[in-house]
Structure 1
Amino acid sequence: MTTRHVTDWTIRVRIVEEDGQTHARARLEGDGRALFCYGDARLNPTDFEVPEIGEELAVGRALVGLGTRLIEATAKDIEQIEGRPIFVSP
């Protein structure tokens, strides 16, 4: 008999743009815990102002950071179970 486990995790992203700077905060909620990470982007003074590009870059950086934190948390969970240091590749 196959056991099935289904769960939903939610990622919420808040983006703030101000004076050529874009800041994103990504928050992962699920499995009884929350992780978050920030990403930033700034407008080069010689570039055209296209807010969507700053948003994409800031959010992308926040999500990459969030993924890294999730992998690090997973490694710590495995280390606690196994009682020894381990490496989890990204």
Structure 2
Amino acid sequence: MAHTSEWKVRLHLFEDDEGTTQAHLVLETGATKIVGRGAAHRHPADSDVPEIGDELAAGRAMNNVARQLIRAAERDIEGVGAARPSRPQETGWPL
């Protein structure tokens, strides 16, 4: 069974004057929307390198969305009668 889909991701980054970067990520699958957030805080003694804050905040927002997406998939797997795996890495469809 062939299947193709396209999901849209929007990532917004905001940095304030105190060195805090906030990330807001929205994943739209067509059927649902998942929102993730992440933050990074620069120590006042550290050099001001905005890319580092962006990377950390974005990575944390993506990690947040990934965890939500895996939980949704596990609920869907249970909803079709499949057993819940004992470890998250085992989640998948039987062959």
- What is the CA–CA distance in structure 2 between the aligned matches of 1:89 and 1:12, rounded to whole Å? 26
CA RMSD of aligned residues (A): 1.6
- Structure 2: state its 5+ residue gaps: 90-95
Structure 1 residue 26: Cα displacement: 1.0
In structure 1, the residue matched to 2:46 is 47
Question: Could you tell me the percent identity over the aligned residues?
Answer: 36
In structure 1, the residue matched to 2:5 is 7
Deviation digits for residues 49-74 of structure 1 (CA, Å, limit 9, x no counterpart): 01111000000000011111100000
Deviation digits for residues 27-70 of structure 1 (CA, Å, limit 9, x no counterpart): 11014111011000011111000111100000000001111110
How many residues are matched?
87
Name the amino acid aligned to 1:14: H
Q: Secondary structure, in 3 states, of the residue corresponding to 1:75?
A: helix
Runs of 4+ residues deviating >3 angstroms: none
More strand by share: 1
Q: TM-score, normalised by structure 1?
A: 0.88
In structure 1, the residue matched to 2:55 is 56
